[in-house]
Structure 1
Amino acid sequence: MTSSYAAAAHASATGSLAVPPLLAALSQADRVLIAGAGGGFDVYAGLPLAVALWDRGARVHLANLSFTQLELLELDAWAGPDVAEVTAETRGPDDYFPERTLARWLAAHTLPATVFAFPKVGVQPLRATYHHLVERLQIDAIVLVDGGTDILLRGDEAGLGTPVEDITSLAAVAGLDVPVKLVTCLGFGIDAYHGVVHTQVLENLAALDRERGYLGALSIPGCSREAELYRDAVADAQAATPMRPSIVNGQIAAATRGGFGDVQFTRRTSGSTLFVNPLMAIYFTVELDKLAARCLYLDRIEHTHGMRQVATRIETFRDEITPRAPHAFPH
């Protein structure tokens, strides 16, 4: 990976009004890895972007930090240390296996139908796994995708949401030498249920913008092929996982079809008042290294090998600081 390639990619990412910076940053990338940073169904939030890049002719690979019991997979499913290569035919749990559910949907739509799955490990083994895939697939761009926006929090906010998996992924990829590394978030507002104050998310984006690390917001048009395929994939996943459908992607999918307010689609949210709105269907994108540099506790989790270590070190950090005061939206 040459420095001239990285420089050209960075220059194109500054873009103009005519070309969204997210797509400009990936314009020279031929082999892109889109990976769900926070586990569960996060990889689904990267599907609209993947479809756009596939239609452009890029070779896009999908991956996900998995909540599935990957230890139940057969030996031939493992493609390397801490990475399973999941296809439509992979044997595994029947009740919850988002990566295989997505692989089956992709196969049914004649799209590249492999989803790499990572077990829940610490920064060092996860980085080794990413490095393995980068070398094997000759990746020249990595996009971490978060369903929600808590990956954008630096650590001193009023609430961090569910940071363990997101920040483990962020730290792992920050240590890789890849020309283009981005973080994109879909589902603005969803993390309020986990205590995230979204004025602080906006404050962080503004700070990244001052550092030339914010690549702007990109709305997914509801009538686009990308949105239609995404909604179909989310509906398929809900049917395949009726007891644990994705609350995050269900709300985003509703937003892409013009849903607003308390749009209920699963009994998992009964008793809660949802606020589905157009902001949920917008990609907010930042440069990964600049985001990582702003994380106040990234150095503390650098040498972790298990996610329990990550969780403990985040808790210790939080006990030592005074979070910055939240502010309500003024309008």
Structure 2
Amino acid sequence: MAFTDASLTALRVFREVAERGTLTAAATSLGYTQSAVSRQIASLERAAGAPLLERRHDGVRLTPAGRVVLRHAAAIVDRIDAGARELAGLPQEPGTVRLGWFASAGADLVPRALEALRATHPAITVESREGGTPALVRALRAGTVDLALLGSGPPFRPPDTETPALETEILDEQGLCVAVPSGHPLARGDYIDVADLHGQRWIAGSGTAAGGGAGDSTGMGVWPGLDERPEIAHSARDWLAKLGLVAAGCGLTTVPVLLTGVVPSGVRVLPVRGGPNEQRRLLLARLPGPLPEPVALLARALRRIALTR
């Protein structure tokens, strides 16, 4: 069987698997059974004459052949969809840009950049979605987002190890802060000494196990590198909920500088002194190659807002 025999359905399924990272997640997104997804992938692999996915305990990873097929699958699916719109008499959308962003970027930076872009280029439509770094990187690879805002912490490794390497631009680099209730003793000064974080109650992300240790994700709300088993009083995925719990006096949480302009009343955000310098980077990531003008204009708006914060 030749690759030209590959069905459009199989290409769509493969693109979804590449973006979601697991057969189960792709099946749920498409409304298929997992066995149906597996059959479509198997048919595409027969057409390609090579394995396209490496099955691993934590999901799937594209093989070199899979990366080639994905690149062409994304282009084929997009062109078929554009043709379907034209045949249906629907307007084409040459000015549509797809943006992915991590949670804290959506609180302030993304809305301000979209407002600025709309004021100067109202014909450009931006479709955006929130996601974690692995999901956003997969979406970039699958061609379902054009740009992605990613957060990065030490030791600042590349977003993934696939080829070609993603092009990343540092939009901002600032220290991690801690949000404390305004009535808390730590809120009296202009900064917090890292030693004073010992014995505090923490509000962590929902992915952090209760009583998690110092190796927990630094984005989850517990100050990284504490030489103790932190007390996690509450867990919440949503930043607004976490900051609301801080305002209510329920504990402390780490805060990226991106959120300092939108914290609710009753919360103070303070830098931490002592210990390792906990820097965080804001990255703008994309696939290598020339950018269409609408994508470049959105990138410029994001860059400008990040510089003026």
TM-score by length of 2: 0.26
Q: Please identify the structure whose Cα radius of gyration is greater.
A: 2
Where is the strand percentage greater, Structure 1 or Structure 2? 2
